Amino acid sequence: MVYEESIILTLPFDDVLTNVKAALAAQGFGTLTEIDMQATLLAKVGKEMDRYVIVGACNPKLASAALDVEPLVGVLLPCNVVVRAIDDRVSVDAMDPGLMATMSGRADLQPIADEARRLVNAALAQVSAVAEQAQSIVVP
């Protein structure tokens, strides 16, 4: 089962994180949480790891509609987007909102999940486009 959509970029980590949050906002998602797993795991268990940030994104209109259909769908909210360093690249991994319908077994959640998936994919496409544009600019 595929539960995420991913893109790999070669931009600086902080630029990618900023672009991800801006692209999500452009699609109607707010950032509810931002968890720095690198800092948290170092502080809590002494684990050293590459940069890893979980962005909890929520589209209030879609979340409200989903909760109206199935109040327990809240356990699957918000949509998590992971920005993580992999050597000299940055991976952006977004949870597939289709899991709401699949895991709940509620067919009436499918249109809401489909719209959320469309918006998340549009945000990822925007992040990719920004990255491609940045990489095509040559500084003398």
How many CA atoms, within 13 angstroms, populate the side-chain half-sphere of residue 52? 12
**How far is it, in rounded angstroms, from Cα 23 to Cα 17?**
10
pLDDT digits (tens, 9 = 90+) for 128-139: 999 888 875 544
- Residue 20: closest CA among 87, 88, 80, 86: 80
- Identify each DSSP E strand in the chain by its residue range: 4-9, 30-36, 52-58, 79-86, 89-95
pLDDT digits (tens, 9 = 90+) for 18-28: 999 999 999 99
pTM: predicted TM-score of the whole model, two decimal places? 0.92
- Residue 88: closest CA among 53, 39, 123, 50: 50
4-134 CATH = 3.30.310.70
Phi, psi of 120 (to 5 degrees): -65, -45
pLDDT digits (tens, 9 = 90+) for 14-64: 999 999 999 999 999 999 999 999 999 999 999 999 999 999 999 999 999
Domain extent listing, the chain: 4-134
Higher pLDDT, 63 or 5: 63
Q: Tell me what the pLDDT averaged over the chain comes to.
A: 92
